[in-house]
Each structure stands twice: as C-alpha cells, then as structure tokens.
Amino acid sequence: MNERKRITILGATGSVGTSTLDLIERSPDAFDVVALTAYRDVEGLAAAARRTGAQWAVIGDAQRLDALREALAGTNVQVAAGADAICDAARLPVDWTMAAIVGCAGLKPTMAAVEQGQTVALANKEALVSAGDVMLAAVQKHGATLLPVDSEHNAVFQCFDHEAPRRVRKVTLTASGGPFREWSADAMRAITPEQAVAHPNWSMGAKISVDSATMMNKGLELIEAFHLFPVDVAQLDILVHRQSVVHSMVEYVDGSVLAQLGTPDMRTPIAYCLAWPDRMATPCPPLDLATIGRLDFEAPDPARFPAIPLARAALEAGGARPAILNAANEVAVAAFLERRIGFLEIAVIVADTLSCYDPEPPVSLDSVLAIDAEARRIAEQRVEDCVS
C-alpha cells in the first residue's frame, strides 16, 4: 500500500475492533485513524485514541461524555457521545470503515457509512441479517463496497468466481460446532454462560460466542452469505469442522472445490479486508498442518442445534423473518447471559417469536428498525414467561 488509508472503526473496543487496531498499529505509516467508537468502555476507547492519534473518539453511552473528555484531556482527540454521534462519526470521509459493533445496534451506523458510498469491512453480521435487501439496495444506490470480515465469508470471497457465478455449484460454510458439539441434548440443558462463552478455537465477544455454542451463528452466517454472494439458498451448505482451519469452500460445476485455510485468527480476514485488493503481512502464526495432523468434517445435527433449521427457514421465507430471528435471538442470548433463561430456551424463544409475528417485508431502514423493536418486545415477553 503506497498511500495512507484513512480509517474509522465502529466498535473499536471489541474483539474484532482490537484485532483491527492491532494490525493498524503495526503499520503506523499506512493508516490514519479518523474515528474510533465504543459503547461504554471509556478507558479502552481513550487509550486506543491516544495510541493511534485518532481525530475523533465517540462513546455510545451519552452519560460517559465527561469521563471520555477527562480521559482524553491534553490530546487533540475530539470527543462526542450518544447513538447519533456514532452515526455522525460513521459519515466522516474515510477510505475504509470497519463495522464491528455487535448486534442490530450497529445497523444505523453501518448504514450511515454505506450511504456515504464507503468501503465497509463488515463484521456486524446482525446488521446485514436484519436489513438484508434494504442494506444491499443502499450499497447499490450509493456505490458502496462491502468486504466480508466474517472468516467464512472472507474465505468464500477469496475463492468465489465473482465474474461468472454460474460456474459455482455450491458454497459450504464450515462451523467449529462450538463447545457443545458432542454433548447430549440432556446435558445441554444445564449449560452455564461461562461454559458457553469459552469457545474452543476462537477468542470472541460474549454474544457471538453464545451464538457459536447454539450454532445460531452459523444460521446468521447462512443468511449473511445469501446476501453477500449471488447464490440461491439451496446452494448454501453447512459442514461441521472442529479444527476451524478450513474457513469455507466453494464448489464449482466441474467438481473442483476451492477452500481458504489458515490459523483461526481474525487478523487474517481483517488484514485481507484492510489491504484489499492488495495483501499485507500479519503476525498470525503460520498454518502448520503437519502438527495439526488431521482435519475432521461432519454434518451438523439439526435436532441438538435447532437454530440452524430456524435460520434456514427464515432465509427461505425471506421478508421480515430474518430480522425477527435476529432480534429474538439477541434478546434471548442477553437473557441467557443474565441467567434468566436456560441455554435450550434460546432457540425456543426465537421459534416462538417467529411463530406469532409476521409483518410485511421491510422496505426501508425505519421499517427494519420497527420490526426489530417489535420482535424484541415479543421476545422479551417470552423471556418473562420463562422466568415466571
């Protein structure tokens, strides 16, 4: 890369955000940081803004503006707070934006970046799952570019024949299967939040770790893949691969299968997006297949992991279904992490919410947000029913 890239990181204090910062801080001559945002972590945000010399640091929780101002006293970093300020930060002119806020909370800021016609590295899968066609229409209208950060989609992006999609027969997303891959349905009843957030291969935020444990993460990724690549639902497949070395595969009509492999470290797909269409070096340990020795594959079990068929059905039905699935899942995962419901109740709440709410397909960002809010209200009621 010859010219310095101006970049913004939405969700800079999270797992993906800090991995992104790690890469850009290793190449101080290649990047200028325009804005960093976070929700509540004033200390983490201020420290990152100081280290990178960011122009802006924006905290989502408006109550924490004074604390942020204090933490950045004596620097040139400008500060702001509140959800609208995060969207404003997303609109600042840059060459590259990392969308790494977790959940539908990231939808408005991600759309704000898209509406500037920016190149957006998309980690925030919930935004694309909820807004689907609405986001893709905005991408088209404003000439934005979405680069997939999610390791599976990044793998597909690297293997896919973008010029002639008709040559592709199938896209297979791999899944680690999470920490409970081999557990009996009975044993899964008593799973605790601590057990669920301890992922065997990847170090990630709490929400996506629980999603990996229920395999809803793979369900969301199925929907994400449908929007990111020109394929039919029937061409999308899921394969459990416990080592998380093969990140996904693209099968061609002649029987050839191209896969992208690598050490499970998010800095590789993030670096691919950061340097795209070039490549950049990363500190990720090289893949050592001789030491790994073997790679295992198996079909996912829809009975113990009902989130996968739920997500596939939502994708097939389309319209508002994926937004409802996502909203109910966010509520249920939060309730599980707060120990208000059990692990197996997460999928039950998602299924119940889907079965009693069937609005018209969303046509605008506002209608997506309205569906999201109503699905959350219903799911929250279901959580209450479980608790009482």
> Contact positions toward ligand NAD, by CB under 6 A?
11-17, 38-39, 41, 60, 86, 100-102, 105, 123-126, 150, 202, 204-205, 207-208, 266
Consult the annotation and say whether 151 binds a ligand.
yes
Report helix, strand or coil for 146: strand
Consult the annotation and say whether 247 binds a ligand.
no
Residue 266 touches which of Mg ion, ligand NAD, none (CB < 5 to 8 A by kind)? Answer: ligand NAD
Q: How many other C-beta atoms lie within 10 A of the C-beta of residue 355?
A: 9
Q: What is the rounded distance in angstroms from the CA atom of residue 334 to the CA atom of residue 346?
A: 9
Residue with tokens 């992104």: 20
Instruction: Name the minimum Å distance from CB 203 to ligand NAD.
Output: 7
Q: Is 150 one of the binding residues for Mg ion (CB under 5 A)? A: yes
Instruction: Name the minimum Å distance from CB 53 to ligand NAD.
Output: 19
Instruction: Find the distance separating the first CA and the last CA of the chain, reported in whole Å.
Output: 58
With respect to ligand NAD, which residue has the nearer C-beta, 109 or 362? Answer: 109
Instruction: Name the minimum Å distance from CB 208 to ligand NAD.
Output: 4
Site for Mg ion in 108-147 (CB under 5 A): none
With respect to ligand NAD, which residue has the nearer C-beta, 314 or 352? Answer: 314
Consult the annotation and say whether 25 binds a ligand.
no
Consult the annotation and say whether 5 binds a ligand.
no
Ramachandran angles phi, psi of 161, nearest 5°: -85, 90
With respect to ligand NAD, which residue has the nearer C-beta, 100 or 245? Answer: 100
With respect to ligand NAD, which residue has the nearer C-beta, 46 or 352? Answer: 46
DSSP state of 123: -
Residue 60 touches which of Mg ion, ligand NAD, none (CB < 5 to 8 A by kind)? Answer: ligand NAD
The C-alpha angle 274, 275, 277, rounded to 5 degrees, equals 120
Consult the annotation and say whether 199 binds a ligand.
yes
Length of the chain: 388
Instruction: Name the minimum Å distance from CB 78 to Mg ion.
Output: 34
Q: What is the rounded distance in angstroms from the CA atom of residue 248 to the CA atom of residue 350?
A: 27
CA distances from 34 to 81, 97, 151, 199, 378 (A): 16, 10, 25, 33, 39
Q: What is the rounded distance in angstroms from the CA atom of residue 11 to the CA atom of residue 59?
A: 10
Instruction: Name the minimum Å distance from CB 320 to Mg ion.
Output: 24
Report helix, strand or coil for 151: helix
Q: What is the rounded distance in angstroms from the CA atom of residue 368 to the CA atom of residue 388?
A: 30
Under 8 Å between Cβ of 107 and 127: yes
Residue 202 touches which of Mg ion, ligand NAD, none (CB < 5 to 8 A by kind)? Answer: ligand NAD
- Environment class of 164 (CB within 10 Å of its CB; exposed 0-12, middle 13-18, buried 19+): exposed
Output the six-digit token pair for 174: 């791999």
Residue 129 touches which of Mg ion, ligand NAD, none (CB < 5 to 8 A by kind)? Answer: none
Q: Is 251 one of the binding residues for Mg ion (CB under 5 A)? A: no
The C-alpha angle 162, 166, 172, rounded to 5 degrees, equals 75
With respect to ligand NAD, which residue has the nearer C-beta, 352 or 365? Answer: 365
Consult the annotation and say whether 16 binds a ligand.
yes
Consult the annotation and say whether 360 binds a ligand.
no
Consult the annotation and say whether 15 binds a ligand.
yes
Residues contributing to the site for Mg ion (CB under 5 A)? 150-152
Provide the annotated binding site: 13-16, 40, 124-126, 150-152, 176, 199, 205, 212, 217-218, 221
